[in-house]
Amino acid sequence: MENVLRPLTVLGGAVLLTLLLGWIVDLMLRRADARHPETPLWGLLRRCRLPLQVVVLTALLCVTYRETRWPVVENHETGIGRVLTLVLIGAGAWLVVRIVSAVVESTYARYATSARDLAKVRRVRTQVTLIMRIVTAVVVVVAVAAILLTFPSMRSIGTSMLASAGIIGIVAGVAAQSTLGNLFAGFQIAFGDMVRIGDTVVVDGEWGVVEEVTLTFLAVRTWDERRITMPVSYFTSRPFENWSRGGVQMTGTVFLQLDHSAPVKLMREKLHEILQDCAAWDGRDWSLAVTDTTPSTIEVRAVVTAKDADDVWTARCTVREQLIAWLAAEHPYALPRIATAQAVVLPAPGRNDATGDAGAHHHPDPALTENADGDPRAGRG
C-alpha cells in the first residue's frame, strides 16, 4: 500500500502545488491589471502562467522524484534526473522569453499611445522588434549551452576544443561572412534609423511598404500585395528611396503631352476645381505650368500634394483622369494630333510654266485615269 500512496502523494502534491501557485499568480495579475488599466503589462504577464507552472512542477519533481521509491525510478535515477534538468532549463528559457516579451510589448504600447509623431513610433517599433529577436536568440543560445554542459562527454569535448578555438573562429568567420554582415547590418538598421517598419520605400524600381525587419532579412510589401525579401545588407550598401524619412508628406506630379493651342489658363482653373473635390489632396500646394515644348507638342506639369504616398498616388490618378476627360469634352483641339497634308507635286523637268499645263497632257496622273479594273481608258471622255 505504501508503494502506491507514496508516489501518488509525491506526484499529486507536486501537481496540486503547481496548479495552486499558478492560480494565485494569475489572480494577482488580474487584480493588478484591473487596478492599472493604463499599462498592459499585467495582462501580458498572464501569458507566462503556463511556462511558470512547467518550471515549478519540474523543479518540484527534481527535488522529490527520489522519494517515490519506485523500482523504475531507482533503476533509472540518473536518466530521469537528467531529463528533468533538461526540461527545467528549456522551461526556464521559455519563461524568460515570455517575461521579456511582455515587458517590451508593454513599453512599446505605452509609448505608441502617448507619442504623436508617427515616424518615431515606427522607429521604436523597429528597434523593439529587433531587440526582442536578439534577446530570444541570446536566451536560446544560453539554454542550449546549459543543456550541453549537463553531459559529461560534452564537457570534455568542449575542453579539448578550446585549444583550437582560434582557428575554428577564423574559419567560421570566413565561412559566415555574409551572415555576419547581415547581422551587423541589422543592428545598424535598428539603431541607425535608416529604415523602419511601415516606411514607404523604392528598391530596384519596386514601390512598397516595409512590413518586417529581422537581423538578417527585410520584407517589403508592394502595392499589388507581393512580398520582396532581401538581405538587410542591401540597405547598408546600396542607395534606395525612403519616402517616409523626414516626414510622410508627399508631392506628386502629372505630366500631359498636349497641342500648342492647349488652354493653359483654363486648365489651371480646372485643376484647382478638381483638387477641391479630391479627398486625397491635403491642401498644402498645387500648380500647373508648361515645362517643355517640342515641334509638335507641349509638356504640361501639374503638381499636387498629399499627406502620404497612398494619397499622392490617388490624387495623381484623379487629376490625370479628370483633366484628360475635360479636355476631350470641352477642348478636343488641345489633345495632341498627328498633322497630315497632301504632298506637294514638284514641276516635271522641262515644264514650261508660261504655257500652263502643257506638260500635263503628256504625263497624265494614273490615279485619275485608271478605273477599278486598271483600264487607263476609263478616265477619258
Which one is predicted more confidently, 340 or 312? Answer: 312
Least confident of 78-87, 116-125, 149-158, 274-283: 149-158
pLDDT at 304: 94
Residue 121 has pLDDT above 70, yes or no: yes
* Position 359 in a domain: no
Q: Is pLDDT larger for residue 182 or for residue 337?
A: 337
What is the percent of the chain where pLDDT is above 70? 72
Query: The domain containing residue 174 runs over which residues?
Result: 2-184
Model confidence pLDDT, tens digit, residues 62-114: 877 766 666 666 676 777 778 888 888 889 999 999 888 888 888 888 777 77
- Do 167 and 61 lie in one domain? The reply is yes
19 and 148 assigned to the same domain: yes
The answer on pLDDT for 33 being more than 90 is no
**Mean pLDDT value across residues 191-195:** 69
Q: Is position 341 within any domain?
A: no
Residues 109 and 234 in one domain: no
Residue showing cell 504632298: 343
Cβ–Cβ under 8 Å, residues 120 and 108: no
For range 12-28, the mean pLDDT: 86
Kindly give, in sequence order, each residue whose CB lies less than 8 Å from that of residue 142, ignoring residues fewer than 6 positions away: 93
Q: Above 60 in pLDDT, residue 235?
A: yes
Same-domain status, 259 and 238? no
Residue 155 covered by a domain:
yes
The answer on 212 and 178 residing in a single domain is no
Instruction: Please give the residue that has the higher pLDDT: either 32 or 217.
Output: 32
- Reported as a pLDDT band with limits 50, 70 and 90, residue 347 is confident
The answer to whether residue 295 is domain-embedded is: yes
Domain holding 280: CATH number? 3.30.70.100
Indicate which CATH number applies to the domain containing 210: 2.30.30.60
pLDDT of amino acid 190: 61
Q: Can you tell me the mean pLDDT for 27-37? A: 85
* CB of 77 closer than 8 Å to CB of 47: no
Last residue of one domain, picked from the residues 148, 164, 184: 184
**Residue 147 CB coordination number (10 Å):** 16
Give the per-residue pLDDT at 49: 87
Tell me: do 125 and 206 sit in the same domain.
no
Confidence of residue 378 (pLDDT cuts 50, 70, 90): very low
- Confidence tier at 364 by pLDDT (50, 70, 90): very low
Grade residue 165 by pLDDT with cuts at 50, 70 and 90.
very low
pLDDT of residue 316 exceeding 90, the answer is yes
Residues 147 and 213 in one domain: no
Which range has highest mean pLDDT (13-17, 168-172, 173-177)?
Answer: 13-17
The answer to whether residue 202 sits within a structural domain is yes
The confidence score (pLDDT) of residue 5 equals: 67
> What is the rounded distance in angstroms from the CA atom of residue 106 to the CA atom of residue 181?
31
Among residues 292, 308, 334, which one ends one of the domains? 334
In a domain, 29, yes or no: yes
Lowest mean pLDDT among 94-103, 257-266, 340-349: 340-349
> How many domains does the chain divide into?
3
Residues 147 and 174 in one domain: yes
171: which 3 cell numbers?
574559419
User: 208 lies in a domain?
Assistant: yes
77 and 149 part of one domain: yes
Least confident of 172-186, 259-273, 276-290: 172-186
Phi-psi label, residue 189: left if phi above 0, alpha if psi -120 to 50, beta otherwise:
alpha
Mean pLDDT in residue range 165-181? 48
Looking at the structure, tell me whether residues 214 and 130 fall in a common domain: no
- Going by pLDDT thresholds of 50, 70 and 90, the confidence category of residue 40 is confident
pLDDT of residue 289: 94
Residue 27 forms part of a structural domain: yes
Claim to verify: residue 320 and residue 223 sit in the same structural domain: no
pLDDT band at 362 (very low <50, low <70, confident <90, very high): very low
How many CA atoms within 13 Å lie on the side-chain side of 284? Answer: 14
Claim to verify: residue 91 and residue 237 sit in the same structural domain: no
Alpha carbon 352 to chain centroid, angstroms = 79
Residue 209 is placed in which grid cell?
511598404
- Tell me the average pLDDT across 244-269: 87
